[in-house]
Copies of this chain bind each other. A is one copy, B any other.
């Protein structure tokens, strides 16, 4: 089985063992993802970004991946496919010759 599918199955088993699927509707999973990204961001609040606690970063990033994979599992999405499709789309929105060296959004290029 693929590495990512195997992770999704582990996460689903973890939640199934705890009878948590009843809480994990898409809207609340999207809220949970949002909260986790704020917890990651909080590690950088008031800081220049150099003195980070790598152990906390690992934990918060793991939470983000876990909810994102759980979310993908709910909609039976293939993670590799959706990423590659979005990258193709982004490659058109941000062609190298226009986007190189600038952080502007595609509608300002």
Contact = CB atoms under 8 A, between A and B. Distances in A.
Given A14-B87, A14-B90, A37-B34, A68 B64 contact: yes
Contacts of A99: 18, 20
A4, A20, A30, A77 — most chain B CB neighbours (10 Å)? A30
A32 B43 CA distance: 11
Given A33-B64, A62-B85, A103 B43 contact: no
Dominant secondary structure at the A interface: helix
Given A32-B45, A41-B35, A75-B57, A18 B85 contact: no
Interface residues on A, range: 35 or more
Interface of A: 2-4, 7, 10-11, 14, 17-20, 22-23, 25-28, 30-49, 52, 54, 57-59, 61-66, 68-69, 71-72, 75, 77, 79-80, 82-87, 89-91, 94, 96, 99-101, 103
